[in-house]
Structure 1
Amino acid sequence: MLDFAPTEEQEEIRKLAQSIALDYLRPHARRAEAEHDSSTELRLALAQTGLTSPFPEEYGGSGPLEAVTYTLIAEELAYGDPGLALNIIGSLMGPLTVWLAGNREQQERYLPPFCDATSGYLQRGSLAFAEQTGGYSLADVRLPARRSNEGYLLNGLKRDVVHGQHADLRVVLARLSEDEEGAAEGTLCAFVLPSSLEGLSTQAEEEKLGLQAAPSAIYRFDQAQLPASSLLGEPGSQGVVRAATLYQILRAAIACGTARAAFEYCSAYARERIAFGRPIVSYQGIAFIIAEMAMKLDAARLLTWRAACSWDRGEAEERLIREAESAQRQAVKMAQAATTDAIQVMGGAGFMQDHPAEMWMRDAAAME
């Protein structure tokens, strides 16, 4: 039977992430939502902890990545604010994909700037995963990359690309197709986009329901020509699947952190809110809602931890995909239900911006 208890080191890291979430993220969540980004001060504070440089020490990073450890970090950051958590994790996914899928030359080129002690915190990465007609599952990645004499041609659309407009390192997931018509049934691959790419247009997603603190963009590829060197590693590299499933696991952790924040906040409110002479938490209609929130949160968190353990152990690709996608799907659904239930517990007060519950509900809804 798997033991999901964190090690002593992981517990210390979790506490550090929690302190940052409570000291930096939650107090500034409304400002970050209004400004559609994180502050430079927050990015510097995170960089100084080493939490945002999970790369090999030879490139200046803090050491090897462990999915379980970063699952704990992602949940704690989302407990502070989901939008800022996705802002941070979304920026990491570009260079992490290079590390997991790229060859040595590509790693040496793209990773050191993110690990630089003086300016690394200013770097932004991005990973274009979701598409217009799908969500965050590997089967939904259908953007065709067709071979050409010069390299690869991309045609299609990507949505919800965190930091897509202003990233220093932009990575996109696509299907390598040998079909002249661009049939999207090929091998999953990752490509680094050049800083200037003819045939690519980007558009900021400004009118989002939630997660506004994580600026995102839409990519439209129209016969965009990539050089052959843009392909990370080799076609069919297992590293691409590991990068994609890691993103799914961390998104599941963010959903768990969002639900936990809503659960604890509405539970505290229910203990303090007096109706008919006693706290509303003493009424069964309220107590049952809160109890069910706790039960579903634990179930989703266990799914997420199991997927993270499988990632760390290097389980077979088929099992890893199944567990990561299951964890993400269940955690997002649970977060959407939990944040909605938190509003129900709080009544009219839940919709007031004096409380963060309405923001968390919008953030959870925007995770699809």
Structure 2
Amino acid sequence: MLDFAPTEEQEEIRKLAASIANDHLRPRARHAESEQDLPAELKLTLAQTGLTTPFPEEYGGSGPLEAVTYALIAEELAFGDPGLALNIIGSLMGPLSVLLAGSKQQQEEYIAPFCAPDTGYLQRGSLAFAELGGGYSPEAIHLLARRQGDGYLLSGSKRDVIHGEQADLRIVLARLEDSDQGPLCAFVLPSTPAGLTVRAEQQKLGLLAAPSATLLFEETALTGSALLGEPGNQGALRAALLYNILRAAIACGTARAALEYCSAYARERVAFGRPIVSYQGIAFIIAEMAMKLDGVRLLTWRAASAWDQGEVADHLLRDVECARRQAIKIAQSATTDAIQVMGGAGFMQDHPAEMWMRAAAAME
């Protein structure tokens, strides 16, 4: 049987991420939601830990991490706050996509600025994945990149692009040539390409601390050098799968936060002379939350382990999709159940449960 127990090194990294989540993310969650962004001092703190520079040391990074390790990190960050976790992970996916799909020259050009000692923590990346009318599945990507001379023309749309309005490095996933089933490729967007309309998504239900945008492409012209790596390489698909694994981990962290918070509340809240956790109607809800969370965490770790093996096969696509869908489903049910356990208090902003429920609802 496969053993998904963290190694000693992974456990140390997990503990570091947990301390950041508890000491910095959770206390700042409400303020970050009102400001709709990650505080600059928190970016610096994260950069100093090396958690936001998982890139080769030759570019100034702290060394590449495995998907399993970063799934542990993403879950802990989301335990602090899912919006801030998605803000951090969404920014990382820009340079990580370059690392996975780009050439050596492109890696040197686009990754090094994120590792600069004095200014790297201020850099933002983004990965345009989901499309209007579609979800976070590689099969749902239909943005077309048609060849025109030495360059490409992009036509289509992207939604829910974290940092899509203000990123220093914007990567977009598209299908090459004129077929919805063409190879998946990744392109670097220049700062202001003609034919691109960017609309900030400000009226979101949740995840407000992760600013996002909609991108509309109307025959947007890109140079040939905008394509990351060689046409048809698997780097773009691996980037998409990694993003889904990390989004699943964020959903697990959200569910765990709701579980632990409502469990503590149920132990302290007294009704009819005893803690409400002693009543079966409450205890059964909490027990089911814990059971489902353990199951979906295992799915996420299995998908991450398969990703780390390097081969893109059908079972990897299936495992990643299953983990993402189930993790979001569990996050949505767990946060809703947490409010049910807490009763009217769950809807009050004195408690974070309502914020987590809105975040889980916005993860689709």
- How does the TM-score come out when normalised to structure 2? 0.99
Give a deviation string over 1:67-95, Cα, whole Å, max 9, x none: 01100000000000000000000000000
3-state SS of 2:346 partner: helix
Matched, 1:19 2:19: yes
Matched with 1:81 is: 81
3-state SS of 2:246 partner: helix
Matched with 2:314 is: 318
Whether the 8 Å CA contact 2:234–2:312 is kept in 1: the answer is: no
Cα distance in 1, alignment partners of residues 313 and 48 from structure 2 = 34
Cα distance in 2, alignment partners of residues 193 and 209 from structure 1 = 28
Matched with 2:190 is: 194
Q: Matched residues, percent identical?
A: 74
User: Equivalent residues in 2 for 1:36-185 (5 A)?
Assistant: 36-177=36-177, 179=178, 183-185=179-181
Q: Give 1:46's aligned amino acid.
A: L
Give a deviation string over 1:306-344, Cα, whole Å, max 9, x none: 011111112343222111111111000000000000000
Matched, 1:10 2:10: yes
Q: Give 1:115's aligned amino acid.
A: C
Cα distance in 2, alignment partners of residues 315 and 330 from structure 1 = 23
Matched, 1:221 2:238: no
3-state SS of 2:121 partner: helix
Cα distance in 1, alignment partners of residues 124 and 258 from structure 2 = 29
Cα distance in 2, alignment partners of residues 148 and 65 from structure 1 = 37
Q: CA deviation at 1:228?
A: 0.6
Give a deviation string over 1:239-293, Cα, whole Å, max 9, x none: 1111110000000000000000000000000011111111111111110000000
Whether the 8 Å CA contact 1:204–1:217 is kept in 2: the answer is: yes
Structural RMSD (CA): 0.8
3-state SS of 1:157 partner: strand
Cα distance in 2, alignment partners of residues 366 and 220 from structure 1 = 21
Whether the 8 Å CA contact 2:238–2:312 is kept in 1: the answer is: no
Cα distance in 1, alignment partners of residues 225 and 284 from structure 2 = 57
User: Equivalent residues in 2 for 1:285-300 (5 A)?
Assistant: 285-300=281-296
Q: Give 1:127's aligned amino acid.
A: L
Moved more, 356-365 or 272-281: 272-281
Give a deviation string over 1:194-245, Cα, whole Å, max 9, x none: 1120000100000000000000000011110010110101121111111110
Cα distance in 2, alignment partners of residues 241 and 281 from structure 1 = 45
Q: CA deviation at 1:149?
A: 1.4
Cα distance in 2, alignment partners of residues 150 and 99 from structure 1 = 24
Q: Give 2:137's aligned amino acid.
A: S
Matched with 1:247 is: 243
Whether the 8 Å CA contact 1:124–1:166 is kept in 2: the answer is: yes
Q: Give 2:139's aligned amino acid.
A: A
Matched with 2:362 is: 366
Matched with 1:208 is: 204
Cα distance in 2, alignment partners of residues 76 and 315 from structure 1 = 27
Cα distance in 1, alignment partners of residues 290 and 231 from structure 2 = 43
- The correspondence for 1:237, drawn from 229, 233, 240, is 233
> Which stretches of structure 1, 4 residues or longer, exceed 4 Å deviation after superposition?
none
Whether the 8 Å CA contact 1:83–1:214 is kept in 2: the answer is: yes
Cα distance in 2, alignment partners of residues 338 and 271 from structure 1 = 17
Whether the 8 Å CA contact 1:37–1:214 is kept in 2: the answer is: yes
Q: Give 1:348's aligned amino acid.
A: G
Moved more, 203-212 or 64-73: 64-73
Q: CA deviation at 1:150?
A: 4.1
Unaligned residue ranges in structure 1 (runs of 5+)? none
Q: Give 2:10's aligned amino acid.
A: Q
Whether the 8 Å CA contact 2:83–2:359 is kept in 1: the answer is: yes
Aligned residues: 364
Whether the 8 Å CA contact 1:126–1:163 is kept in 2: the answer is: yes
Whether the 8 Å CA contact 1:241–1:317 is kept in 2: the answer is: no
Whether the 8 Å CA contact 1:21–1:80 is kept in 2: the answer is: yes
Give a deviation string over 1:123-172, Cα, whole Å, max 9, x none: 00000000001110111111111111141111111000000010000000
3-state SS of 1:218 partner: strand
Unaligned residue ranges in structure 2 (runs of 5+)? none
Matched, 1:334 2:330: yes
- The correspondence for 2:353, drawn from 353, 357, 362, is 357
Q: Give 1:2's aligned amino acid.
A: L
- How does the TM-score come out when normalised to structure 1? 0.98
Cα distance in 2, alignment partners of residues 188 and 319 from structure 1 = 18
